[in-house]
């Protein structure tokens, strides 16, 4: 097949039509729907992992409860992985994200638990917003500083962020002399999920419906745009297929989230507090989508938009593909680098908000080893360390793969040292498989 | 003998050195509208360095650049583009991992009123320009990495002419191409010339450019050996300039000319 494709390369449209006719139905299907086969392979791997754990745990893995927890646990690393994609695409690396998460988390913890209550009073409704804004500002400043050192002082990112790994972890300790800060502000805590931090059944269905409308709208819009300029269109059946697939996935996720009900004791407390009579079968209140998951999905959408629809994203990929060409094309490559690291800092702060809110405490060990999980998620998600290649969605699925492995092994009762061994081996095998895939795709 | 019009480009007494080595030493070249000037010399003669000063990739140590008779301040590639100077580099400076349209507009993307990339409009324009240059070209959706040398070259050329360049610099434009593609590039150069664009062709191989050029400027060891109209000299005489620095009678000698005993 490889020879045939190469032979046809130069002969333009005619040959490409001929090539379409030559293809078997599977290939034609992928060409028509423009589904990224790499991404599909990863989703396939995820499904295999899920089914494997489902069998091994005797049906404990694919339950609404476990899937719901899995997505909540993934959100913090998933948020950071979206930024790590851009960093790695430009041939840099960021080893400091775990420590930056720790420092931002500690800053936000001290701010909301010790500083702000003095001025605003405990439980003031603005505390969470001020805290989050300050945390993001701190993250952006740290990222901007590291990015500037990389871009303007020409110190390799590996070294700058290796230094950052130590510096910000040390700074985290320094803030409270190593003490844990708790509890967090009640509103802030919603960002961590839990029964309170979920949006309930009705709101989840509304979010799902809006997402379906957005999917259909995006497909219609892209078709209209391509028609306007007379470009080749996808076959109509492919458009329908994509729209239906997207909607089914979204609504399926909402369905699962809505089938995870509040624990009995919390539901009973809620019933008592609101004067609801306790029914015989127990009160079934849906969790719905967790707020941290919503945050992660929103971050994923925004980052995908930045990476594919904005000039900045285009520059990031051009810079990763050929730094010299980008420079000669008049791109301010240094500023692009600073912006990428700043963005990474902001994402670390958001991840820090999620993880401190979830833990209901800021500790000085928060985010330890997260840099490695984040890099692993990006790389498993198809980001090439050679630069120039990577997708946000892939990295987020990569984060889900990593978390699925861990959470499945916890369910199986595997010892923690052995968990790390498995995660390490999977990372290497995944990247090796990807290398094989890429070599064959050429 | 001297042209009375204002030159499009005049580079006067340009010098640049890297770590004590004079890569370009007191070199002067000029270019008129609708003219093709071939800049010839061995590898390492300083021709690429000289032209990279014009395109903003390097900053000169001394000398001045006049565009249309006015002093131009060129410190980076963006400045050069403001003066209508477009460069096609020997290394085909394209970003391999993005598609043709993205490369054509790299650094000058079209945007929608909301500030997002207008990919559809860019692809439409790319199809139009590429259709003029290379009608066989169909692979707009694939990363440039997947294209052949000639196709990549047409992307690089399309990028230069897309923005109404007045001055085009082509560094070894046909080095990576087959005979048919070389002929295509030759046709293209003639077409651009008719549109009044001034073109610098840089090459170490005189056969590539002699028939296309109106004038030649020869460099050796960082200095200009001399200038000549192609109608006044033979290929052998130009070869003598390149190899030995020997200036024929009808050429204008420069600072790098071999001192006659």
Nearest CA in chain A to B110: A311
User: Under an 8 A CB cutoff, do B117 and A311 touch?
Assistant: yes
Nearest by CB to B77, which of A11, A13, A328? A328
Nearest to B129 by CA among B81, B85, B161: B161
Distance of CA B35 to the CA centre of its chain: 12
Helix (H/G/I), strand (E/B), else coil: B193: helix
Q: What pLDDT shows up at residue A47?
A: 93
> Looking at the complex, does the CB of residue B106 fall below 8 Å from at least one CB of chain A?
yes
Answer for the pair B16, B74: CB distance below 8 angstroms, yes or no: no
Output B4 or B23, whichever has higher pLDDT: B23
Asked whether residue B17 is assigned to any structural domain, the reply reads yes
Confirm or reject contact between B158 and chain A (CB < 8 A). no
Assess B235–A contact: CB distance below 8 Å, yes or no. Answer: no
Sheet with B21-31: strands ordered across: B21-31, B9-18, B62-67, B70-71
Please give the pLDDT value at position A14: 46
- For chain A, say whether B108 makes contact (Cβ under 8 Å): yes
Which residue numbers of A have CB closer than 8 Å to B's CBs? 9-13, 16, 225-226, 228-229, 231, 305, 308-311, 314, 317-322, 324-331, 388-389
Instruction: Give the pLDDT band (50/70/90) at residue A439.
Output: confident
Residue B195 has a pLDDT of: 82
Residues of A in contact with B102 (CB under 8 A): 314, 318
Chain A CB contacts of B139 under 8 Å are 9
Per-residue pLDDT reduced to its tens digit, A328-337: 888 999 999 9
Q: What crossing angle do the helices spanning A370-380 and A97-110 adopt, rounded to 10°?
A: 130
Q: Mark yes or no for CB contact A388/B97 under 8 Å.
A: yes
Tell whether B128 lies on the interface with A, counting CB pairs under 8 A.
no
pLDDT category of residue B260 using cuts at 50, 70 and 90: low
In order of their start, the domains of chain A are: 35-197+290-441 (1.10.3470)
Q: Band of the pLDDT at A1, cuts 50, 70, 90?
A: very low
Least confident of A98-107, A253-262, A274-283, A299-308: A274-283
Nearest CB partner across the interface for A311, out of B57, B78, B109: B109
| Mean pLDDT value across residues A162-190 | 94
A156-to-A98, A322, B13, B237 alpha-carbon distances in Å? 19, 17, 38, 51
d(CA A122, CA A358) in angstroms, rounded, equals 19
Q: Chain-centre distance of CA B91, in angstroms? A: 13
Length of chain B in residues, anyone? 261
A208-232 pLDDT tens trace: 999 999 999 999 988 888 888 778 7
B75 in contact with A at a CB cutoff of 8 Å? no
A37-51, A192-206, B79-93, B96-110: least confident range: B79-93
Residue B189 confidence (pLDDT) above 70? yes
Residues of chain B positioned with their CB less than 8 A from the CB of A325:
93-95, 106
Q: Name which of B77, B90, B107 to mutate to probe chain A: the one with the most chain A Cβ atoms within 10 A of its Cβ.
A: B107
Asked if residue B56 is part of any domain, the answer here is yes
- Which residues are CB-neighbours of A166 under 8 A, at least 6 positions away? A99
Question: What confidence tier does A441 reach under pLDDT thresholds 50, 70, 90?
Answer: low
Distance between B183 CA and the closest CA of chain A, angstroms: 17
Q: Between chains, do B94 and A226 touch, taking CB under 8 Å as contact? A: no
Identify the band that residue A13 occupies on the pLDDT scale cut at 50, 70 and 90: very low
List the alpha helices (DSSP H) in A381-415.
392-412
Class of residue B49 by CB neighbours under 10 A (exposed 0-12, middle 13-18, buried 19+): buried
The torsion angles phi and psi of B228, rounded to 5 degrees, stand at -155, 150
Q: Among A272, A368, A304, which residue's Cα sits nearest to residue A85? A: A304
CA distance B70 to B210: 30
Q: What is the mean pLDDT of chain A?
A: 89
pLDDT value at A5 more than 80: no
Say how many domains are in chain B. Answer: 1
Chain B residues closer than 8 Å to A228 by CB: 120
- Which chain B residues are Cβ-neighbours of A391 within 8 angstroms? none
For A328, which residue in chain B has the nearest alpha carbon? B77
pLDDT of residue B3: 54
Q: Whole-angstrom Cα distance, residue A108 to residue A353?
A: 8
Interface size A-B, in CB pairs within 8 Å, comes to 90
| Pick from B71, B38, B2: nearest CA to B199 | B38
pLDDT of residue A7: 36
Residue A37 pLDDT level (bands cut at 50, 70, 90) = confident
Q: Which domain holds residue B232?
A: 9-84+165-253
In terms of CA atoms, which chain B residue is nearest residue A323?
A: B95
pLDDT-derived band at B217, boundaries 50, 70, 90: very high
The closest CB to that of B109, out of A9, A16, A314, belongs to A314
The least confident of A3-7, A401-405, B253-257 is A3-7
Q: Which residues of A touch B106 (CB under 8 A)?
A: 314, 318, 325-326, 329, 331
- Across A28-53, average pLDDT: 85
Q: Provide DSSP, A327-360.
A: HHTT--HHHHHHHHHHHHHHHHHHHHHHHHHHHT
Could you tell me the two tokens for A380?
Answer: 């498993």
- C-alpha triplet A272, A277, A280: angle, nearest 5°: 115
> Residue A423 and residue B2: Cα distance in Å, rounded?
75
Q: Give CA–CA dist A98/A89, Å, rounded.
A: 19
pLDDT at B259: 64
Residue B127 placed within a domain:
no
* Residue, of B252 and B256, whose pLDDT is higher: B252
Q: Is the pLDDT of residue A438 over 80?
A: no
Residues in chain A closer than 8 A to B93 (CB atoms): 322, 324-325, 328-329
Return the percentage of chain B with pLDDT > 70, whole number: 96
**Could A325 and B81 be called an inter-chain contact, meaning their C-beta atoms sit closer than 8 Å?**
no
The candidate with the shortest Cα–Cα distance to A163, out of A101, A105, A94, A90, is A94
**Rounded to the nearest 5°, which phi and psi values hold at A391?**
-130, 150
DSSP B24-68: EEEEEEEE-TT-EEEEE--TTSSHHHHHHHHTTSS--SEEEEEET
- Residue A76 · residue A145 · CB < 8 Å: no
Side-chain half-sphere of A378: how many Cα atoms within 13 Å?
Answer: 31
What pLDDT band is residue A23 in, cutting at 50, 70 and 90? low
In A, minimum Cα distance to B159 occurs at A329
Q: Do B123 and A229 touch (CB under 8 A)?
A: yes
B189 Cβ contact partners less than 8 Å away, ≥ 6 residues apart:
B36, B170, B173, B199, B201, B212
DSSP state of B169: E
Please indicate if any CB of chain A lies within 8 Å of the CB of B180.
Answer: no
Does the pLDDT at position A15 exceed 50?
Answer: no
Å between B206 CA and nearest CA of chain A: 27
Span A82-134, pLDDT tens digits: 999 999 999 999 999 999 999 999 999 999 999 999 999 888 899 999 999 99
Q: What are the structure tokens assigned to A229, written together?
A: 């300029």
**Minimal C-alpha gap between B144 and chain A (Å):** 10
Shortest CA distance from A13: residue in chain B: B138
Distance (Å, rounded) from C-alpha B226 to C-alpha A131?
A: 70
| Interstrand relation of B36-40 and B215-220 (parallel, antiparallel or unpaired) | parallel
- Among candidates B256, B231, B225, which has minimal Cα distance to B39? B225
CB contact under 8 Å between B93 and A225, yes or no, is no
Which positions in chain B touch A10 (Cβ < 8 Å)?
A: 136, 148, 151
Chain B: give the shortest CA distance to residue A374, in Å: 24
Q: Tell me whether residues A10 and B148 touch, CB distance under 8 A.
A: yes
Residue A2 predicted with pLDDT over 70 = no
Please tell me the pTM assigned to this model: 0.85
CATH of residue B51: 3.40.50.300
Closest CA to A65 of A210, A259, A239: A259
Residues of chain B neighbouring A328 (CB-CB closer than 8 A): 55, 57, 77, 87, 89, 93
- State the Cα–Cα distance between residues B74 and A134, nearest whole angstrom: 42
Q: What is the bridge-based pairing of β-strands B36-40 and B198-203? A: parallel
Q: Does B112 touch chain A (CB under 8 A)?
A: no
User: What percent of chain B is modeled with pLDDT above 90?
Assistant: 16
Q: E-strand spans in A14-110?
A: none
Q: Do B96 and A331 touch (CB under 8 A)?
A: no
Using left for φ > 0, alpha for ψ between -120 and 50, and beta otherwise, residue B112 falls in beta
Contact A70, A402 (CB under 8 A): no
């Amino acid at each position: 097949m490889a020879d045939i494709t190469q032979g046809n390369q130069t002969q333009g449209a005619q040959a490409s039509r001929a090539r379409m006719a030559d293809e078997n139905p599977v290939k034609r299907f992928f060409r028509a729907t423009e589904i990224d086969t790499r991404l599909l392979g990863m989703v396939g791997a995820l499904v295999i992992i899920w089914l494997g754990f489902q069998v091994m745990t005797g049906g404990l893995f694919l339950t609404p409860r476990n899937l719901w927890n899995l997505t909540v646990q993934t959100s913090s690393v998933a948020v950071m992985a979206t930024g790590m994609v851009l960093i790695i695409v430009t041939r840099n690396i960021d080893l400091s994200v775990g420590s930056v998460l720790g420092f931002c988390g500690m800053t936000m913890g001290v701010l909301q638990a010790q500083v702000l209550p003095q001025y605003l009073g405990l439980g003031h409704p603005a505390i969470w917003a001020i805290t989050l804004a300050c945390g993001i500002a701190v993250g952006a400043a740290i990222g901007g500083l590291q990015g500037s050192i990389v871009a303007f002082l020409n110190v390799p990112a590996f070294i700058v962020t290796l230094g950052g790994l130590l510096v910000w972890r040390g700074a985290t300790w320094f803030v409270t002399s190593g003490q844990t800060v708790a509890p967090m502000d009640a509103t802030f805590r919603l960002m961590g999920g839990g029964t309170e931090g979920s949006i309930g059944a009705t709101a989840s269905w509304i979010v799902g419906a809006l997402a379906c409308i957005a999917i259909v709208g995006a497909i219609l819009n892209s078709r209209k745009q391509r028609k306007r300029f007379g470009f080749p269109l996808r076959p109509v059946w492919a458009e329908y297929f994509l729209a239906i697939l997207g909607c089914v996935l979204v609504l399926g996720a909402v369905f699962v989230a809505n089938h995870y009900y509040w624990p009995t004791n919390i539901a009973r407390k809620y019933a008592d507090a609101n004067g609801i009579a306790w029914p015989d079968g127990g009160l079934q209140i849906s969790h719905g989508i967790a707020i941290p998951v919503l945050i992660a999905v929103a971050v994923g959408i925004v980052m995908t938009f930045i990476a594919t629809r904005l000039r900045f994203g285009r520059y990031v990929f051009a810079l990763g593909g050929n730094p010299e060409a980008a420079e000669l094309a008049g791109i301010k490559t240094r500023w692009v680098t600073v912006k990428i690291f700043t963005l990474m800092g902001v994402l670390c702060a958001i991840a820090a908000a999620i993880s401190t809110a979830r833990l209901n405490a800021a500790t000085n060990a928060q985010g330890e080893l997260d840099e490695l999980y984040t890099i692993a998620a990006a790389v498993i998600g198809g980001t090439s360390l050679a630069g120039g290649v990577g997708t946000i969605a892939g990295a987020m699925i990569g984060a889900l793969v990593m978390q699925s492995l861990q959470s499945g092994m916890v369910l199986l009762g595997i010892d923690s040292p052995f968990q790390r061994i498995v995660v390490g081996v999977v990372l290497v095998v995944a990247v090796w498989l990807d290398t094989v895939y890429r070599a064959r795709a050429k | 003998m001297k042209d009375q019009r204002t030159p499009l480009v005049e580079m006067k007494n340009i010098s640049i050195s890297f770590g004590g080595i004079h890569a370009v030493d007191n070199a002067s070249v000029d270019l008129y509208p609708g003219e093709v000037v071939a800049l010839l010399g061995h590898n390492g003669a300083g021709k690429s360095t000289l032209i990279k000063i014009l395109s903003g990739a390097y900053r000169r140590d001394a000398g001045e650049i006049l565009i249309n008779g006015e002093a131009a301040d060129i410190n980076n590639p963006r400045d050069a583009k403001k003066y209508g100077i477009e460069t096609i580099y020997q290394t085909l400076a394209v970003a391999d991992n993005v598609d043709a349209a993205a490369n054509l507009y790299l650094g000058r993307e079209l945007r929608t009123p909301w500030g997002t990339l207008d990919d559809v409009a860019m692809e439409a324009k790319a199809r139009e320009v590429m259709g003029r240059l290379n009608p066989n070209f169909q692979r707009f959706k694939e990363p440039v990495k997947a294209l052949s040398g000639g196709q990549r070259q047409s992307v690089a050329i399309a990028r230069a002419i897309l923005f109404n360049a007045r001055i085009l610099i082509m560094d070894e434009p046909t080095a990576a191409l087959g005979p048919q593609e070389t002929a295509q590039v030759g046709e293209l150069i003639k077409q651009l010339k008719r549109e009044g664009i001034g073109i610098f062709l840089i090459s170490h191989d005189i056969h590539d450019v002699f028939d296309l050029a109106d004038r030649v400027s020869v460099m050796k060891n960082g200095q200009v050996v001399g200038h000549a109209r192609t109608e006044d000299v033979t290929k052998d005489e130009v070869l003598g300039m390149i190899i030995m620095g020997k200036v024929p009678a009808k050429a204008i000698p420069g600072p790098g000319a071999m001192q006659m005993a």
